[in-house]
């Protein structure tokens, strides 16, 4: 199992995230996207954003808890397998280990608070 399935994301949070990326100048390239990686595994992403020539996959985890490093490693592995580096994770909050790993691996972590504060 690839560990890339997302329990149903809150539609409102998905809309907020998409609005955030549009406001930041990203083009939305797809929603609920499945991409087969070099490994032959089908990876699911909530959507793909593009800015200039760079495409990035996005996982949205609408959990009422802290997202740990294992989830971030799963996203990193999935994005590397489909050859789309520098993925983006959206969630409520992130553990210190998740933040540290993300900084080293150039993974963008966005909180719901960051997304909603951009509209004020």
DSSP lists the bridge partners of residue 89 as 59, 109
Say if 1 falls within a structural domain: no
CATH number for the domain harbouring residue 106: 3.40.1350.10
30's tokens: 């797809």
pLDDT band at 14 (very low <50, low <70, confident <90, very high): confident
How many Cα atoms are found within 13 Å in the side-chain-facing hemisphere of 22?
Answer: 10
pLDDT band at 13 (very low <50, low <70, confident <90, very high): confident
Q: How large is the average pLDDT for residues 32-40?
A: 95
pTM higher than 0.85: yes
| Average of per-residue pLDDT values in the chain | 89
73's tokens: 């490693």
Q: What would the pLDDT profile of 106-117 be if each residue is shown by its tens digit?
A: 999 999 889 988
Q: What would the pLDDT profile of 19-30 be if each residue is shown by its tens digit?
A: 999 999 999 988
Domain span at 108:
38-117
Instruction: Of 5-14, 60-69, 74-83, 104-113, give the lowest mean pLDDT range.
Output: 5-14
Say if 104 falls within a structural domain: yes
Say if 22 falls within a structural domain: no
Q: What is the pLDDT of residue 40?
A: 97
User: Is the pLDDT assigned to residue 6 strictly greater than 60?
Assistant: no
Tell me how far apart the alpha carbons of residues 120 and 13 are, in angstroms, rounded to a whole number. 16
**Count of domains for the chain:** 1
């Amino acid at each position: 199992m690839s560990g890339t399935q997302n329990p149903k994301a809150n539609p409102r949070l998905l809309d907020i995230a998409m609005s955030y990326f549009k406001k930041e100048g990203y083009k939305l390239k797809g929603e609920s996207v499945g991409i087969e990686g070099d490994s032959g595994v089908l990876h699911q992403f909530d959507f793909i954003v593009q800015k200039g020539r760079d495409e990035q996959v996005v996982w949205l985890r609408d959990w009422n808890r802290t997202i740990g490093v294992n989830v971030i490693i799963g996203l990193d592995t999935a994005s590397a397998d489909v050859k789309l580096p520098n993925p983006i994770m959206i969630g409520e909050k992130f553990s210190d280990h998740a933040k540290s790993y993300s900084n080293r691996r150039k993974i963008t972590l966005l909180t719901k608070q960051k997304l909603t504060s951009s509209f004020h």
